[in-house]
């Protein structure tokens, strides 16, 4: 097995507090890293780097772990730019817009949907994302949800069945019947293609009891649970996620003190999605309060055509810093190691020995530039498992 020494790293963020400056980011200056078999074999100061078969000099730039985007909805067709424009003129966001994308997605061919997923994953990759979770949720029939997940599975192992996104129009008069469909034939068709099950637990979507039923059925079928909750207003979703010990609960925009306490005393990761608040002109979640209370947070894009049509983790890091009062270090940690925790993954989101060699080379001397230079394409190179994409 041949080894590669990545050298000339001006600043290396390992996310391992045992390395470098001892901070949570484990920052090593004048660093090097050895990649072997797609994994990090060694990371530390350049002066003590071991020999390797070949070397690659990044010229003093900084290197950070690849972003782990733990929340996206990439299997869709259609465009909702007019809805966005209307919002910017004062029309509020509503969950009902999801049905516009459902109609367009049902009408699209498998090839069109797969091409759309591939295009967005490539767009994410160019911006430093090396692990992405993709949800269904714009099909809402047995056939359309199953094909959405089969298409998502071509792009990632982190696939999530979100049949319980909204009640589709044909079940408007029978929401209970739709929950029966989701927990029965739809789950049976989707489970083979999914790792996770998710529910939009919100007024206008699904109640806590309905969410509980969907999550229980998903778990019985071997899927792990996660939730969309407390996005559009206060609600029971966050507490439900903590009670059930879910890996992650996403959005967390409207939280009570009890919600924060429940999160702090659970292992559930709170995933914050600042692209949503940006794109819906809504108040941002209180990331500062969550972190100060001891809650583990992740930052993700929620890339979807309605509430957050950005694929850019650097933008979300910048928003987390500027609008949610996270420090640049907290935001980067949340976008890497936090995202990994939100997916229950230990081999991604950091660059200590044993991690998958997912590296992002920044055209900048420091990771702080991710927030300091918003909108500037400073991601210079992305290696997944130590290799550049074809």
Q: Which residue ranges make up the site for ligand NIG (CB under 6 A)? A: 73, 97-98, 101, 200, 228, 231, 276, 302, 304-307
Of the candidates 142, 219, 223, the one whose C-alpha atom is nearest the C-alpha of residue 184 is 142
Residue 382 CB neighbours (<10 A) = 20
**Residue 117 binds which one of Fe ion, ligand NIG, none, with CB within 5 to 8 A depending on kind?**
none
Residue 76 or 178 having the CB closest to Fe ion: 76
Residue 61 or 251 having the CB closest to Fe ion: 251
Shortest reach from residue 279's CB to ligand NIG, in Å: 9
CA 160, 165, 167, 170 dihedral sign is negative
Q: For residues 87-146, which are near Fe ion according to CB under 5 A? A: none
Shortest reach from residue 235's CB to ligand NIG, in Å: 12
Contact 132, 158 (CB under 8 A): yes
**Residue 231 binds which one of Fe ion, ligand NIG, none, with CB within 5 to 8 A depending on kind?**
ligand NIG
CA 91, 93, 99, 100 dihedral sign is positive
Widest Cα–Cα separation across the chain: 69
Chain position whose Cβ is nearest to Fe ion: 302
Report long-range pairs for 153-157 (Cβ below 8 Å, ≥24 apart): 153/193, 154/114, 154/117, 155/74, 155/117, 155/118, 155/121, 156/121, 156/131, 156/132, 157/195
**Residue 14 binds which one of ligand NIG, Fe ion, none, with CB within 5 to 8 A depending on kind?**
none
Query: How big is the chain by its Cα radius of gyration, in Å?
Result: 21
Helix (H) or strand (E) holding 134: strand 129-135
- Cα–Cα distance for residue pair 30/10, rounded to 1 Å: 5
Shortest reach from residue 256's CB to ligand NIG, in Å: 19
* 293 exposure class (CB count in 10 Å sphere: 0-12, 13-18, 19+): middle
357: helix, strand or coil: coil
**Residue 97 binds which one of ligand NIG, Fe ion, none, with CB within 5 to 8 A depending on kind?**
ligand NIG
**Residue 284 binds which one of ligand NIG, Fe ion, none, with CB within 5 to 8 A depending on kind?**
none
Each residue 293-322 as x (binds Fe ion by CB under 5 A) or -, in order, gives: ---------x--------------------
124: helix, strand or coil: helix
Tokens at 195, concatenated: 């790792």
Dihedral of CA atoms 42, 47, 53, 55 in degrees, nearest 10, equals 100
Residue 235 or 386 having the CB closest to ligand NIG: 235
Shortest reach from residue 305's CB to ligand NIG, in Å: 6
Chain position whose Cβ is nearest to ligand NIG: 306
**Residue 124 binds which one of Fe ion, ligand NIG, none, with CB within 5 to 8 A depending on kind?**
none
Shortest reach from residue 108's CB to ligand NIG, in Å: 15
Residue 66 or 275 having the CB closest to ligand NIG: 275
Residue 15 or 311 having the CB closest to ligand NIG: 311
Residue 10 or 235 having the CB closest to ligand NIG: 235
**Residue 224 binds which one of Fe ion, ligand NIG, none, with CB within 5 to 8 A depending on kind?**
none
Residue 69 or 302 having the CB closest to Fe ion: 302
Q: Which chain residues interact with Fe ion by CB under 5 A?
A: 302
């Amino acid at each position: 097995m041949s080894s590669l020494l990545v050298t000339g790293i001006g600043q290396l963020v390992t996310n391992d507090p045992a390395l470098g400056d001892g901070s949570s980011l484990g920052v090593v200056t004048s660093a090097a890293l050895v990649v072997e078999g797609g994994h990090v074999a060694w990371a530390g100061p350049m002066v003590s780097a071991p020999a390797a078969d070949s070397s690659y000099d990044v010229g003093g730039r900084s290197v950070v772990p690849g972003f782990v985007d733990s929340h996206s909805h990439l299997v869709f067709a259609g465009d909702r730019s007019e809805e966005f424009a209307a919002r910017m003129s004062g029309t509020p966001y509503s969950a009902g817009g999801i049905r516009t994308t459902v109609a367009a997605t049902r009408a699209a061919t498998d090839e069109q949907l797969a091409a759309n997923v591939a295009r967005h994953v490539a767009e994410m990759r160019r911006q430093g994302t090396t692990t992405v979770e993709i949800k269904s949720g714009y099909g809402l029939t047995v056939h359309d949800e199953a094909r959405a997940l089969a298409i998502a599975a071509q792009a990632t192992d982190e696939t999530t069945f979100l049949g319980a996104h909204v009640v589709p129009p044909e079940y408007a008069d029978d929401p209970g019947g739709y929950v029966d469909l989701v927990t029965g034939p739809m789950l049976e068709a989707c489970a083979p293609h999914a790792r996770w099950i998710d529910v939009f637990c919100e007024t206008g979507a699904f109640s806590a009891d309905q969410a509980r039923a969907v999550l229980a059925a998903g778990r019985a079928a071997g899927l792990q649970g996660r939730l969309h909750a407390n996005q559009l207003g206060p609600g029971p979703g966050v507490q439900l996620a903590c009670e059930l010990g879910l890996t992650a609960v996403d959005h967390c925009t409207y939280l009570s003190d009890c919600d924060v306490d429940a999160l702090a005393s659970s292992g559930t990761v709170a995933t914050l999605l600042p692209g949503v608040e940006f794109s819906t002109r809504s108040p941002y979640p209180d990331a500062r309060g969550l972190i100060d209370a001891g809650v583990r947070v992740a930052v993700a894009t929620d890339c979807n055509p309605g509430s957050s049509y950005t694929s850019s983790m650097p933008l979300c890091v910048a928003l987390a810093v500027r609008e949610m009062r996270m420090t640049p270090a907290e935001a980067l940690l949340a976008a890497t190691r936090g995202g990994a925790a939100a997916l229950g993954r230990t081999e991604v989101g950091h660059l200590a020995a044993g991690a998958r060699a997912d590296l992002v080379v920044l055209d900048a001397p420091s990771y702080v530039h991710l927030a300091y230079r918003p909108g500037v394409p400073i991601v210079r190179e992305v290696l997944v498992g130590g290799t550049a994409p074809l």
